[in-house]
Structure 1
Amino acid sequence: GTRIGIVNGYEYPASLAEVEKRGAVLDRANSEQANLRKLSAGRVDLALMMANQMKTDAAIVQQAQVNNVGVAFHATPMGSYIGFSTTHPQGEQARKLFNEGYRIISSNGRKNEIVRRWQLR
């Protein structure tokens, strides 16, 4: 019966489905901030947050404008992926253009500059 706040549309590990099978209730919201507000109000028992170097857990809590919640622990990191359609007529060209652009900004330092700017936010 534990109520767990998750974000609608996010992908979670298979272990979350196992928790649901054992009786947990997954309560979906449109953002981590909405889930933290639910947590603050006692409408969920815990909230799962997807954080990273640029979208930190502290920033998510601050944006939710709640002060009576905190981070309990950090779980195993999950990878991020980008996909391109294999059936869309422009899918392969989009993949090639993305890979070329990513290679360029990774090699010329622009990617690191973008990451630094996001971290300053």
Structure 2
Amino acid sequence: MPPGSVVGITRDYEYSAQVTALQTSGVVFENSLSDLTSLQKLAARRFQVVLVMNNDLEVRNQKAKQSGTEDVVRFAFNCGVENSTIGFSLAHPDGLRALEMYDEGYRRIKANGALKDIHMRWFPSLHWP
């Protein structure tokens, strides 16, 4: 993208190193409240490009459909991978209980083989211990 291109991003999302490197080439990031809003701004020609977070569990153009822009925007390519984490509040009254429930569920899917099946589906080229 040429320097000065305005790229719509969603406020408070964490983007991959590949994405943030665009700023060093002169690309300007502009925040929106959501991916849907970014897509609507793209359709209105306020952005040249938008970065939309998606995953393999949703149809690629689902957010375009939700934002009403499916007839005027197209997805071009993937731009990096973002790792995610889960956290539990130690200050919230139900935080520890939620953590214990998560840990118990994890133990169960590991014991019954479901965790291995999930791993093989998402990371087929990696070896399971």
Q: TM-score, normalised by structure 2?
A: 0.68
Alignment gaps of 5+ in structure 2: 118-129
- Superposed displacement of residue 73, structure 1: 1.1
Q: Residue 69 of structure 1 corresponds to which residue in structure 2?
A: 73
1:83 to 87, 109, 118: 87
Whose helix fraction is larger, Structure 1's or Structure 2's? 1
Cα RMSD, aligned residues only:
2.7
Q: After the TM superposition, which of the residue ranges 22-31 and 92-101 deviates more from structure 2?
A: 92-101
Q: Residue 38 of structure 1 corresponds to which residue in structure 2?
A: 41
Q: After the TM superposition, which of the residue ranges 14-23 and 57-66 deviates more from structure 2?
A: 14-23
- Matched residues, percent identical? 31
SS in 1 for 2:29: strand
Equivalent residue pairs, number: 109
1:56 to 31, 56, 59: 59
2:15 to 9, 12, 15: 12
- Superposed displacement of residue 78, structure 1: 2.5
Q: Residue 108 of structure 2 corresponds to which residue in structure 1?
A: 104
Q: Residue 121 of structure 2 corresponds to which residue in structure 1?
A: none
- Superposed displacement of residue 103, structure 1: 3.6
Kindly indicate whether the alpha-carbon contact (under 8 Å) linking 2:16 and 2:80 is maintained by their aligned counterparts in 1: no
Q: Residue 50 of structure 2 corresponds to which residue in structure 1?
A: 47
Q: Residue 2 of structure 1 corresponds to which residue in structure 2?
A: 5
Hey, what's the Cα distance between the residues in 1 that align with 2:59 and 2:29?
23
Hey, what's the Cα distance between the residues in 1 that align with 2:52 and 2:41?
13
Kindly indicate whether the alpha-carbon contact (under 8 Å) linking 1:49 and 1:57 is maintained by their aligned counterparts in 2: no
SS in 2 for 1:4: strand
Q: TM-score, normalised by structure 1?
A: 0.72
Amino acid at match of 1:49: V
Hey, what's the Cα distance between the residues in 1 that align with 2:79 and 2:7?
15
Hey, what's the Cα distance between the residues in 2 that align with 1:102 and 1:31?
31
